[in-house]
Amino acid sequence: MVEELLLMAVDSARQTGIRFADARIFRHHRLEHISVRNGEPEVMSYGDEPGVGIRVLGPGGWGFASSTLLTPASVRETARTAVALSRLARARKTEVPFLPESRTPREGSYETPVREDPFAVPLEEKLSLLTEAERRLHVAPAIKSAKAEFTAWQEDKEYLSSEGASYHSLITHVGSGLTANAISGGEAQRRSYPNSFGGDFAQAGFEFVRSLDLLEHAAECGREAVRVLKAPQAPEGTMNLVLGSSQVGLQVHESVGHATELDRILAYEAGFAGTSFVDAASRGKLRYGSPEMNIVADATIPGALGTFGWDDEGTPAKRVPLVTKGLLSGFLSSRETAARQGLTESGGTMRADGPLRMPLIRMTNINLLPGDHSFEELVEEARDGLYMETNVSWSIDDKRLNFQFGCEVGYTIKDGELGELVRNPLYSGMTPAFWGSLAATGDESTYHIWGLPNCGKGQPTQTMHVAHGAPAALFTGVRVRGAR
Amino acid sequence: MPTQRSRTSGKGNDPIDRVLSSVTGAADVRHLRERWVTLRVANSTLYQPIFENREYLSLRVIVDGGRIGTATTTDLSTEGVAALAKRAEAGARNAVRTQGFTHLPRPDRVPTPTIRVRRDAAQGDFASKASELFAAIDRAGEELGKSRVAGVYNEGFQQLSVGNTEGIRRTSDRSVAQASLLLEDLSFDPAVSGWAEAASWDPRKVDLAKLGEEALSRVPREKVHRVPEGKYDVVLGAPAIAELLNMLSYGGLGAYSVEEGWSFQGGASRKAVISPKIQLIDDPLSPLGLPEAIDYEGVPARSRKVFDRGIATGPSHDTLTAGRAGGRTTANAVPPEAPYASFGPLPRHLSFLPGEGTFEELVGGIRKGLLVTRLHYVRFVHRKKTIVTGMTRDGTYWVENGEIQYPVANLRMTESILGILRRTDLTGKALRCCGDERGFFAPVVPDLRARKVAFSSATIF
């Protein structure tokens, strides 16, 4: 049935002047979210939203239409709508270059290796785990609220293009985490495990959630929330800064991942997400950071949230260097933007967050490669300064230059050793100068691939799942202060 | 574009009836049908024209007087509805009893409010709206040295029906039109720009050519200067105020933020936290905004003071949080499923009453300071203190002796939202709806003037 609808979608779009068409049908687009807050289930939610999205490249440019109605009549109508939209600007004679399809197998299947289907694990087991973990966060009266949450997503989709490419994907993502909120008087502090904003996420089954060992870590998470509530304010000044792995991951996300999206660079997101300080002609020339800085976009890493078989325009997953020894070496690109930029192939990063939305250039797994310093060596090399971990606040300008990030906790560094806990630490800077101050990157023991399920972009807004491999890292001469 | 009929339409085949007859225990159901068109402009071309047709069901089941489960689906077939009921009931049976739940909303004599709506929204071929966009692009090309136009036009129609086992049954139609245009002159380095945005329940009132003229009038004809970080008297444009109000809604005006202790409203303090001159209400019915007649529990929407003489009047509630607080719902329920459920009830239609100042008077009262058009990437730095950080964007200007002097490079504002509203000495007469793309947040706001606003760093463009 789905295969027939898919053929119908693409055939209906093959009309005069249409250069290219593709369709994605989601048999299932599932989401399960359970959160327990202060002993009660805040959310026990399950959703399944199948649908179809059809994209065409016509004489006036692109047209895209989508529907949740998976009937033959609706699919044909959706295709006709996409064609009609692609003709809206035909009188403007806009050229849209588009690279031919990749010479890979034209049919294939990709499936997340899952040991334990997260949707099949009994609800009572998931709820029991979260309820007990949440209970253990309440270590003191100062913990006024706490939360334990679990999320699983699954997309079962078929892709077909007018070029004949046909792919099936069954992709499963899961994640879980804890949050303890300590509040006293006018002060409020939060501590999360293993990361903020819902925890950590991976392309895996429920075995990933078990591996987080929430019960084991809950009490310490709660205790640290209480400790940071009573901690002194973070110091202010220009100093050496060691960032924990998850914060380095977010720094990569905001100041490298988004900045190297070729649609942003070419001003196709100027009205909303913004553009980039990176110039399209600066590949191989722009000094992005110190020689310690090596960043790749790698959609082939098993288990990472930004991994897939093919992107949403049929390009196979690949590994693309973005920054090599501190020099800009590549972009996140699509078949259209690669053609615009004179590249020979797409970077394979066109992704949509569901059947109803048009694919855009999105991050995959954007990773800062590890170096050779243990965490202790990073701190020792810093001598004096601050260590910060776990993001709590993030903001960056629309060209990805001026940023300010806040973390849940900081520790002073004195004489090469971690000192006292401090609260509300913030750091700020300008992207190339900040990455230029990267003095050392942590080794594999400090490296982790963090799943990030909440990357927003596009109009209508899409929320994409991406990942960042990141070691701890040492930056010198960074502006630091405390939020007051 | 065509209107796609629901496959479930027709007498005796109402999805809400079918769902309610499939569940045991208390339940409420939302049946949402919506269609949207989005026309995105980039690099002075129509870049992404998009049409979306969506129909879905959202079910909340309550068993044993307080065990709650929710489920959603876009599959309205018999099998889809059965699966929906099974999932929601399974969630409820496994849930711990929620404290404070008393009952779902019950029928009353309050009629469903009448709101302004265009039922033909997001139908047609959109050629006229595309032509308006092309006119704005061409006009910018004529007027600016080297123009680049970006922006978006969104138009949608939503029909929300809510029914529950207590007997509530309400349906409300809603239309949304929203647009923004960014005009840049690339003959300057860095580029100078002008921004304009508008939103209305009536697509005819969102005139894209006129919006283009407004954006064009704001494009400076001279290069960008730099000013250092510091505290400045500022005129904040309506889009900037809207962004701050949306953050305040989520961060401190909803029941969850009070229950969790994050809200500035925590504690028994009844002192003024913003300027008593500011009249701020939550007004879902305002024809100046993007009206909604009912909330997601089917309760008739109504306006409510959010601050009274500068004092916060208490958080927004749905029936669940109202039960916990011992009060009544304020008709601010959001959909009960993820991701909305984590927000809890929110005031989404924050509206200023008109102030007394013209734009010239707002700017005229600044000896040395800034005019900020809008803010980008605003995030909480300290939620309880309502401190946020965000960059200025798309038109920041130096003001001296009451007159706009020249564009300046963007600055990072790191400030308390309540602090800004406390140090506001004049609000504008003219109100503008700065709703988001789907009208979820739809504040109606003026420009305003605030004193000593902190900017913590600057950028170079």
Q: Mind listing the pLDDT tens digit for each residue in B15-39?
A: 999 999 999 889 999 999 999 999 9
With 0-12 / 13-18 / 19 or more C-beta atoms within 10 angstroms meaning exposed / middle / buried, residue A37 is buried
- pLDDT (0 to 100) of residue A44: 82
User: How far is it, in rounded angstroms, from Cα A480 to Cα A241?
Assistant: 8
The verdict on a CB contact (< 8 Å) between A85 and B126 is: yes
B6 has pLDDT over 60: no
* Partner residue opposite B91 with nearest CB, options A44, A50, A84: A44
Question: Which residues does chain A have within 8 Å of residue B130's beta carbon, measured at their own beta carbons?
Answer: 88-89
A261-287 confidence digits (pLDDT tens): 999 999 999 999 999 999 999 999 999
Domain shared by A274 and A151, yes or no: no
Q: How confident is the model at residue A192 (pLDDT cuts 50, 70, 90)?
A: very high
- Which tens digit of pLDDT belongs to each residue from A96-123? 999 998 777 789 999 999 999 999 999 9
Question: At B118, is the pLDDT very low, low, confident or very high (cuts 50, 70, 90)?
Answer: very high
Q: What is the share, in percent, of chain B residues with pLDDT greater than 90?
A: 88
A81 — pLDDT class (breaks 50, 70, 90): very high
Same domain, A405 and A456: yes
Model confidence at B10, pLDDT cuts 50, 70, 90, reads very low
Q: How confident is the model at residue B341 (pLDDT cuts 50, 70, 90)?
A: confident
Distance of alpha carbon B111 from its chain centroid, rounded? 25
User: Among partner residues A46, A65, A397, which is closest to B376 by beta-carbon distance?
Assistant: A397
Task: Please tell me which residue of chain B has the smallest CA distance to A123.
Answer: B94
Query: Could A49 and B74 be called an inter-chain contact, meaning their C-beta atoms sit closer than 8 Å?
Result: yes
Distances (CA, A) of A346 to A330, A339, A458, B379: 11, 8, 20, 34
User: Does A70 have pLDDT greater than 90?
Assistant: yes
Q: Is the dihedral of CA B353, B357, B358, B363 positive or negative?
A: negative
Q: Which residues contact A301 (CB under 8 A, 6 or more apart)?
A: A307, A365, A367, A449, A467, A469
- Counting residues of chain B whose pLDDT is more than 70, the rounded percentage is 97
Q: Name the E strands within B97-227.
A: 147-164, 169-185, 192-200
Contact criterion met (CB below 8 Å) for B301 and B295: yes
pLDDT digits (tens, 9 = 90+) for A450-460: 999 999 999 99
How many angstroms separate the Cα of A256 from the Cα of each of A295, B174, B345? 9, 40, 36
Give Cα A312 distance to the centre of its chain.
16
Taking an 8 Å cut-off on Cβ atoms, the answer to whether B2 and A269 are in contact is no
Top pLDDT among B279 and B178 is at: B178
Distance between first and last Cα of chain A: 59
Q: Alpha-carbon distance A349 to A317, whole Å? A: 8
pLDDT in tens, A389-438: 999 999 999 999 999 999 999 999 999 999 999 999 999 999 999 999 99
Mean pLDDT of A318-333: 98
What residues of chain A, 74 to 103, have a C-beta less than 8 Å from chain B?
74, 77-78, 80-82, 84-86, 88-89, 92, 94
Helix (H) or strand (E) holding B103: none
- pLDDT above 50 for B9: no
Q: What is the CATH number of the domain that holds A179?
A: 3.30.2290.10
Integer Cα distance of A121 and A172 in angstroms: 14
- Beta carbons of B46 and A65 less than 8 Å apart: no
A298, A367 contact by CB (below 8 A): yes
**Domain B15-217 falls under CATH 1.10.3720.10:** no
Asked if residue A446 lies in contact with residue A377, where contact means CB atoms within 8 angstroms, the answer is no
Which residues in A lie closer than 8 A to residue B94 (C-beta atoms)? 44, 123-124, 127
CA dihedral angle for residue A368, residue A114, residue A102, residue A347, rounded to 10 degrees: -20
Whether residue A71 and residue B342 make contact (CB cut-off 8 A), yes or no, is no
A206-225 b/e (C-beta count within 10 Å ≥ 16 → b): bebbeebebeebbbebbbbb
Question: Residue B54's closest CA among B83, B72, B32, B30?
Answer: B32
**Least confident among A11-20, A325-334, A384-393, B427-436:** A11-20
Token reading at B77: 């077939």
Phi, psi of B223 (to 5 degrees): -75, 165
Tokens 């309502």 correspond to B386
Measure the CA–CA gap between A20 and A1, rounded to whole angstroms.
23
Count of domains for chain A: 2
Residue B122's nearest CA partner among B287, B5, B290, B3 is B3
Calculate the CA dihedral of residues B273, B274, B275, B281 and round it to 10 degrees: -120
CB A162 within 8 A of CB A83: no
Q: In angstroms, rounded to a whole number, what is the distance separating the alpha carbons of residues B96 and B275? A: 43
pLDDT number for residue B1: 52
pLDDT of residue B148: 97
Same domain, A205 and A313: no
What kind and span of H or E run contains B261?
none
Helix (H) or strand (E) holding B188: none
Residues in chain B within 8 Å Cβ distance of A43? 70, 337-338, 341-342
- A94, B46: Cβ pair inside 8 Å? yes
pLDDT average, residue stretch B163-185: 97
Whether the link from the prior residue into B190 is cis, omega within 30° of 0, is yes
Each residue's pLDDT tens digit, B354-368: 999 999 999 999 999
Do A86 and A10 lie in one domain? The reply is yes
Residue with tokens 């100046």: B288
Q: Distance between CA B161 and CA B294 in Å, rounded?
A: 9
B4 pLDDT above the threshold of 50:
no
- Domain of residue A433 covers 237-482
Nearest CA among A334, A399, A390 for reference residue A362: A334
* Amino acid identity for residue A40 in this structure: E
Question: Do residues A194 and A247 share a domain?
Answer: no
d(CA A127, CA A137): 15
**Which structure tokens are listed for A202?**
């991976």
Contacts of residue A196, Cβ cutoff 8 Å, sequence gap at least 6: A177, A179, A190, A246, A390, A391, A392, A408
How far is B260 from chain A, CA to nearest CA, in Å?
5
Are residues B51 and A66, on separate chains, in Cβ contact within 8 Å?
A: yes
* Nearest Cα residue to B266 out of A241, A181, A258: A181
Measuring CA to CA, how many Å separate B408 from each of B193, B318, B373?
11, 44, 12
B156 contacts B175 by C-beta, under 8 angstroms: yes
pLDDT of residue A448: 98
CB-neighbour burial class of residue A186 (10 A; exposed 0-12, middle 13-18, buried 19+): exposed
HSE, CB side, 13 Å, CA atoms: give it for residue A450.
30
Are B297 and B106 within 8 A, CB to CB?
A: no
Per-residue pLDDT of B196-253, as tens digits, reads 999 999 999 999 999 999 999 999 999 999 999 999 999 999 999 999 999 999 999 9
**Looking at the predicted structure, is the pLDDT value of residue B5 above 90?**
no
CA distance A76 to A84: 12
What are the residues facing A324 on neighbouring strands? A327
| Chain B residues within an 8 Å CB radius of A479 | 457
pLDDT band for position B12 (cuts 50, 70, 90) = low
Domain boundary among A230, A247, A274: A230
Q: How far is the C-alpha of A442 from the C-alpha of B417, rounded, in Å?
A: 39
**Mean pLDDT score of chain B, rounded to an integer?**
94
Contact call for B130 and A88, based on CB within 8 A: yes
Judge if A193 and A56 occupy the same domain. Answer: yes
CA distance A192 to A177: 7
Give me the interface pTM, i.e. the ipTM. 0.96
What does the pLDDT read at residue B268? 60
> At which of A230, A262, A290 does a domain end?
A230
**Residue B266: what pLDDT?**
74
A119 touches chain B (CB under 8 A): no
Token output for B436: 């988001």
A214 and A346 belong to one structural domain: no
Query: Rounded distance, CA B43 to CA B148, Å?
Result: 6
Q: Where are the domains of chain B?
A: 15-217, 230-458
- Specify the pLDDT at position A135: 97
Q: What is the DSSP letter of B434?
A: -
Sheet with B444-445: list strands edge to edge: B311-312, B304-308, B280-282, B350-352, B444-445, B432-433
Give the residue-averaged pLDDT of B413-420.
97
Q: Looking at A186, A204, A230, which one is the last position of a domain?
A: A230
Q: Nearest CA to CA, how far is A377 from chain B (Å)? A: 30
Position B123 pLDDT exceeds 50: yes
Find, in chain B, the residue whose alpha carbon is nearest to that of A47: B72
Q: For residue B447, what are the contacts with CB-CB under 8 A and spacing of at least 6? A: B235, B236, B237, B238, B241, B359, B362, B427, B428, B430
Of the pLDDT bands very low, low, confident and very high (cuts 50, 70, 90), residue B7 is very low
